[in-house]
Amino acid sequence: MKKPIRIGTRESALALWQAQTLQNLLKKKGFKTELVPIKSTGDLDLNQPLYEMGTTGIFTKTLDTALLNDRIDLAIHSMKDVPTLLAEGIQQAAVLTRGPVLDVIVKKSKSDLNNSSTIATGSLRRKAQWLAKYPNHTIVPLRGNIQTRLKKLQEGAWEGAVFAEAALDRLKVNEDNVEVLDWMLPAPAQGALMIVCKSNDLELFNILQELNVEEAALCTKIERDFLRTLEGGCTAPIGAIATIEKDRVHFRGGVFSLNGKEKFTCIESQPVSNAVNLGVELAYKLLQNGAQDLLKEFKSSK
């Protein structure tokens, strides 16, 4: 390509890290790039909880518009923020090497949590699973970028806050009291980065396909298929994780009630060769077993 490739990005430190990571990968292949910072709806409103903002894709729609209006050539997103149905005219071009996938709790002190602890999170998925394990705890909403949320934690009257491990890792945040929540199902595609471009931009698509990591692409497809089939959207209390060991895909997924008292979960392992539709198949099983009622409850409460 003769012109520099214009990379659309949000202005947060984490989004800029993602964009610069892509810049470096393209530079190694001999391409010139430029960053085009764009504010999203999710960045502009930091007070309202994400699940109350009335739409999916609040971190991606502004970049979608810029892409379709030819202000940028591509965008890179935290994949868990991307709606499972992409906007018309936009296609997934690559999934990069996946980072840590689990959630962590950052505690204010080394002390163990007590029976009446208060935990901060803006995620209904995290809230539902936390209350399932700690029904006597109080959950309070938390918004903002990583640095803002960590500052609010230190200033607030809370014992801890939940974050994606990948976010802390990428920004090299060194907190003393961090515990990995290996019992909590992460958001589908958490820790993964998706690159999108226009559907009719075959030249750029072929360039980006060279960056695609097939294992990450398959695992995130399975997880996002699970979410899409459940019709959950990015903010629903749904978790999923797929991993590959040798020639098998191992999957765990679940749907949780908002108060943490009910859940429908599944665990499955299949050969990679048979796993392309695994997310869809397991989602239908959960729906048939009663998960549909939980999702109706979630939608009616919004």
> What's the DSSP call for residue 287?
I
Residue entry with tokens 């090299």? 172
Q: For residue 92, what are the β-bridge partners? A: 196
Helix 278-286 and helix 214-230, axial crossing angle in degrees, nearest 10: 30
Locate the DSSP E strands across the chain.
Answer: 5-9, 33-37, 74-78, 90-95, 103-107, 118-120, 138-140, 160-164, 178-181, 193-198, 238-245, 248-256, 263-271
Catalytic hit among 81, 103, 201, 225: 81
Distances (CA, A) of 260 to 128, 185, 265: 4, 13, 13
Which residue in the block uniquely carries the two structure tokens 């108060």? 259
Tell me the one-letter amino acid at 145.
Answer: N
Q: Is 45 a catalytic residue?
A: no
d(CA 240, CA 192): 13
Catalytic residues: 81
